[in-house]
Structure 1
Amino acid sequence: MSTSTPPQKDLLVIGELNMDLILDDVQSFPELGKEKIAGDLNLTLGSSSAIFAGNSSRLGLAVAFCGMIGDDDFGKTIIPQLQEYGVDTSLITVTNKYKTGLTAIIRYADDRAMVTYPGAMEHFALADIPEEAFGQARHMHISSIFLQPGIKEDLPAIIDRASSAGMTISIDTQWDPEEHWDLDFEHLLSRIDFFLPNEDEFLNMTGSSSVEEAIDRFQPYLTDGTVIIKQGTRGATYFTSDTIKSIPGYTNPDPVDTVGAGDSFNAGVIYRFLQGDPLERCIKFGNITGAVSTTAPGGTQALTSLNDILHTAKNKLSITDSDDFTS
């Protein structure tokens, strides 16, 4: 990246795009040959990457999104929604070869099940990312690698391009539907700045029964990067090559929806990182944005602006620490 041409964006998000069909208050788990009743239905913009991009934009970052959607009704819904969040959609490929992806979410009182049709996201790869995309932002975030086999295969080359352009890099693999967890984590963790799994993902990808055991397995892979393990209301545990520490979280006593809370955490962390904040302050703010996310349905409705986030944190969740981020 030429030093005479500074990046136009703060953040380039590379990832999946799909709609979420949400069935709420389902009576019991579906059974073959039997019909169950849902109490409510919503069709919203889904995908970890889109939630992260939208919330990062509303925090004040200049965000560009690079992904693939079908030339269909779902695809035509996604782009205006991202634009409404303030996200630059000019790098999104619209194809008539594949359909836009869809995730059906069946929610019960205390848990949920998901079925995803990958569609276009399954075919998205490095060849679909314009070369100039890597020079136009300070930071690159990639999510949902296991839903995007093309991105998964091309990941080393994508990281090389971003690093050569002077970008910092964060990755959240999300869950592996096949539970193979077949990434070269040793190589990956030595090349990126932030790795952002949740606790369940972290235990499964390391084949461990405890966070301590999992850290022991991955810590030798780190050089300058940081792994941040999302742990819900318990907060987050981070480790570097020589440090392990937990940062307490915040509790919403009456959560409306936890969908997208992890992506909202990621947005908070990367936002503060790009402001030049120290690591623990970044994680503390991520804990705030993750908690605030649970005060409204969907992954993007609660995080409307930085001021609104801090107001909700203080007045609805009694998080007095939010005052630390008013300036």
Structure 2
Amino acid sequence: MSIKKYDVVVIGELNVDLILNKTDVFPEIGKEILARQMNLVLGSSSAIFASNLSCLGAKVAFIGKTGADLFGDFVISSLHSKTVDTTGIVRDRSCSTGATVVVNFNEDRAMITHPGAMETFSGNEVNWEIIRQSRHLHISSYFIQTSLQKNIGDIFRKAKQLGLTTSFDPQWDPAENWKIDLDQILPDIDLFFPNEAEILKITRSSTVEDALQKIKPAAGIIVIKQGNRGSTIVQDGKAHLLPAFLNKEVVDAIGAGDSFNAGFVYRFLQDKPLEYCHRFGNMIAAVSTTAAGGTGAFSGRQEVFTVLKEKYGYEEN
């Protein structure tokens, strides 16, 4: 068996986040409010996952698209700084890099996204040589990548044929149409990472139990993220809720779910028991909330494990 160049290849959307914190009230139409703190950071579910997974120690490559602009330069530079391979990222002069403005107030937030290149990235721009050199494929943000949607099932299927393990996080549908053929996609997915609101919307269900009944026949391992309540893992028809590792001084929760995915996949690729992967995912999600943005808490591997030890008593074996 040949040694792969990358542990994980990520196919997904790319954007920057402009985060406004320390507001006194939540925004209202027609009224101006002040934010006492502003940060421009790497955004997008896929990029946060890739960056934080690389920070933990995995070898990560990214396949996606940005505009040939300053925000695109920022995205590439941010990923480079976390040693993510960006040779699979297309730079397109005909479109702009995506951007999201985030306004945080207490534990609530409002977001406005300009999708830009995220909507134009398509299956014929996917670099298959990078995928062939990888052990695991992760795809996120199905709904916002409208040009890629029709190819995602085939991409997962071909990746499985090449011997990769796979994971998928659908993310929120900004249009709230929730049209996705899970029966066609799930059989080729090893780890399915929706949050609770997403799985209810996708399956048109009123309870998690009902949602699981609809997708279990086609699914492998399902992990449902449930915010400060923790997360539930479902395997072989059995569900187990693991409470969250709470951070009493939350800066924001941006990217906490993506960080959970990174922690879970990191241990999954080390062949750790699922219970261990689950627990580590919850801890990495908690670490994410200690700094602004999805990657702010992940300045380096040693720093992350120092936080894990000091806050949650975790030490590497």
TM-score under structure 1 normalisation? 0.92
Distance change (3 Å), C-alpha of 1:301 and 1:35:
closer
Question: Does 1:279 pair with 2:274?
Answer: yes
Let me know the Cα RMSD of the aligned residues.
Answer: 1.5
Stretch of structure 1 that moved more, 92-101 or 252-261: 252-261
Q: Deviations over 1:256-288 (max 9, x none)?
A: 121111111100000000111111110110011
More strand by share: 2
Shift in Å, 1:29 = 4.2
Which residue in the other structure is 2:146 paired with? Answer: 149
Which residue in the other structure is 1:91 paired with? Answer: 88
Unaligned runs of 5+ in 2: none
Stretch of structure 1 that moved more, 93-102 or 209-218: 209-218
Question: Does 1:8 pair with 2:5?
Answer: yes
Question: Does 1:291 pair with 2:251?
Answer: no
CA distance in 2, matches of 1:291, 1:30: 27
Kept in 2: contact 1:289–1:303 (CA 8 A): no
Amino acid at match of 2:266: Y
Find the residue that maps to 1:67 and give its secondary structure: strand
Kept in 2: contact 1:227–1:240 (CA 8 A): yes
Stretch of structure 1 that moved more, 142-151 or 247-256: 247-256
CA distance in 1, matches of 2:135, 2:22: 42
Unaligned runs of 5+ in 1: none
Question: Does 1:177 pair with 2:174?
Answer: yes
Q: Identity percentage over the alignment?
A: 45
Structure with the greater relative contact order (CA < 8 A, sep ≥ 6): 1 or 2? 2
Q: Which residue, out of 107, 112, 115, partners 1:110?
A: 107
Question: Does 1:240 pair with 2:235?
Answer: yes
Question: Does 1:208 pair with 2:205?
Answer: yes
Find the residue that maps to 2:35 and give its secondary structure: coil
CA distance in 2, matches of 1:75, 1:219: 39
Question: Does 1:45 pair with 2:38?
Answer: no
Kept in 1: contact 2:255–2:294 (CA 8 A): yes
CA distance in 2, matches of 1:29, 1:243: 40
CA distance in 2, matches of 1:31, 1:242: 45
Stretch of structure 1 that moved more, 150-159 or 242-251: 242-251
CA distance in 2, matches of 1:26, 1:249: 26
Find the residue that maps to 1:146 and give its secondary structure: coil
Q: Deviations over 1:74-133 (max 9, x none)?
A: 111111110001100111000101000111112112311111110011000111112212
CA distance in 2, matches of 1:79, 1:286: 26
Kept in 1: contact 2:19–2:103 (CA 8 A): yes
Which residue in the other structure is 1:255 paired with? Answer: 250
CA distance in 2, matches of 1:247, 1:37: 38
Find the residue that maps to 1:284 and give its secondary structure: helix
Amino acid at match of 1:136: Q
Q: Deviations over 1:290-322 (max 9, x none)?
A: 11111111111213344432321231x2x23x2
Amino acid at match of 2:7: D
Find the residue that maps to 1:76 and give its secondary structure: helix
Shift in Å, 1:234 = 2.2
Find the residue that maps to 2:87 and give its secondary structure: coil
Which residue in the other structure is 2:189 paired with? Answer: 192
